[in-house]
Amino acid sequence: MITEKDIQIIESYLSNNLSEQDSAEVRRRLKDDPEFRKHLEIIRDLPPAITSSSDAFRSDLKEIMANTQLDQAKTRILPLKKIIMAIAATVALFITVNLLIQDRTPQDLYATYFTIPPENISVRNSEEVSEILTQALAAYSAENYVQANEYFRTYLNATPEDQAARFFYSLSLMASNNFEEAKSNLLALKGKAESFNTSIEWYLSLVYLKNGLIADAKVGLTTLSSTDNSYTSKAQILLKEIE
Amino acid sequence: MESMYTELELINGLKKRDVIVVKHLYVTYYPMIRDLIQKNGGSEEDASDVFQEGMVVVFEKTQDKNFNWSSSIKTYLYAVCRNKWLMHLRRQRTHNTTYLQDNVEVAGDQNVQRDIVHQEKRELMRKHFGFLGDDCQTVLRMFFAGNSMRKIAQEMGFTEAYAKKRKFTCQQKLIQAISLDPLFNELSAS
């Protein structure tokens, strides 16, 4: 059984509060005494183990896994001929698109590049608030953006700090052609929602493009194209098309 | 669904327990882990457990200020889950397995093994901590969080001398329970 004295010595050693002579004695014991070594390891590792938020994280993850439907489609292995045909079709499409883009307006480019992603929010908070957000997300997924906007607005009045909801609200506004309101919501998020900063930058650039604010669009697209992120190549292509 | 995140955004999001990022990681990487486990004798439930434990290891890694991410979350998570499943099979003693059926070369297995051992030891410490009485848990939790003995004494309604004594007896009990746990000794030997 570890003694109170040993606990005190080990704690002092770990916090560098021992004299050189006492520290040397601890190092000698660590070399010769496996039990003492084990006790030091436990005393050292207990505080981070107990104050860690791993249990809370595990609980979050379990809830997410229980409430998230995965795509059940199996991966198929395509025969080589089909792969080659798919590549050829993509190349043909690319050439066609390139030929067509020469006289496109910013609004045309917006229409080409704006796609609305599926929502991926886990609904939390109180039951009442969650119900409104659930309705907003259901309307969003059903592409009923006008209805989604109303629900999002109500939800965000009660829970203005929900960045994910505000992000998808912005996309819903864009999809329903409410660009000024989309812009102000995206600007409110910019620099604050670390998890999806690049997405905010992308969609904000598209809003500027739609409104004919080419210089503002180029600033965002230049940032995206010069760093490694999910939008790098799209931003590079779009910048070339604008220029 | 196209990826919305850079590697750094994923790491930072995971570090902060951002629900959207965690969900994204689940949706994106769970099928790969499920595939690995089911191809190697495990059930869907096994896959779910291994994935959760693997994610906890990755999460704990993001809390380590000194850790330098040299591989992607995907690579690291796969390596962790793969090792966890191997360890599970060996512990069952029904297999003397040293390899799994997959086509993936996993680099840096020794570091991953070390990370898994650390995480399992911490789990074990939390388990034994949970067996302590409420008073012991409160005293030690406050102590580990850096509170002074005076503050602990005030909070618990003790004298400072009694709080010190209580802290020692609770700590002694906990250290003894952990050091006698066969799993702790097995992990230390691995």
B34-79 tens-digit pLDDT? 999 999 989 999 999 999 999 999 999 998 877 667 778 999 999 9
Which of B1, B17, B19 to mutate against chain A (most A CBs within 10 Å)? B19
- Residue window 21-40, chain A: list those with CB within 8 Å of chain B: 35, 38-39
pLDDT at A102: 55
- Residue B101 vs residues A17, A61, A224, B66, B69: alpha-carbon distances, Å: 51, 27, 39, 33, 27
Which chain A residues contact residue B16 at CB under 8 A?
194-195
pLDDT, average across residues A11-17: 93
Which chain B residues contact residue A199 at CB under 8 A?
4
pTM over 0.80, yes/no: no
Q: Which domains does chain A have, with CATH numbers?
A: 4-101 (no CATH), 127-242 (1.25.40.10)
Model confidence band, residue A75 (pLDDT cutoffs 50, 70, 90): very low
Angle between helices A20-32 and A34-51 (to 10 degrees): 110
Q: What are the pLDDT digits (tens) for B132-148?
A: 999 999 999 999 999 99
Range scoring the smallest mean pLDDT among A60-69, A93-102, A203-212, B58-67: A93-102
Which chain B residues contact residue A64 at CB under 8 A?
19, 22-23, 26
Distance CA A130, CA A158 (A): 11
Closest Cα partner for B78 from B58, B62, B49? Answer: B58
Task: Name the residue facing B6 among A71, A122, A229 (closest C-beta).
Answer: A229
- Residue window 74-113, chain A: list those with CB within 8 Å of chain B: none
Asked if B52 and A61 come within 8 Å (Cβ–Cβ), the reply is yes
Q: What are the pLDDT digits (tens) for B85-103?
A: 988 888 776 555 556 666 5
Q: What are the pLDDT digits (tens) for A101-147?
A: 556 788 888 887 887 776 766 554 455 557 788 888 888 888 888 88
Chain B: closest CA distance from residue A96 (Å): 24
**pLDDT beyond 90 at B123:** yes
Residue count of chain B, please give it.
Answer: 190
* DSSP assignment string, A41-90: HHHHHHHHHHH--HHHHHHHHHHHHHH-PPP-PPP-PPPHHHHHHHHHHH
Task: Name the residue facing A2 among B12, B20, B176 (closest C-beta).
Answer: B176
pLDDT, average across residues A202-206: 91
Mean pLDDT computed over every residue of chain A: 82
Q: Torsion over CA of B70, A49, A14 and A4, rounded to 10 degrees?
A: -160
Closest Cα partner for B62 from B81, B77, B50, B82? Answer: B77
**pLDDT beyond 70 at A59:** yes
Model confidence band, residue A76 (pLDDT cutoffs 50, 70, 90): very low
Q: Do B53 and B107 contact (CB within 8 A), yes or no? A: no
Asked if B6 and A196 come within 8 Å (Cβ–Cβ), the reply is no
Model confidence band, residue A235 (pLDDT cutoffs 50, 70, 90): confident
Chain B: closest CA distance from residue A53 (Å): 9
pLDDT at A1: 86
pLDDT at B177: 95
Mean pLDDT computed over every residue of chain B: 87
Q: Do A149 and A173 contact (CB within 8 A), yes or no? A: yes
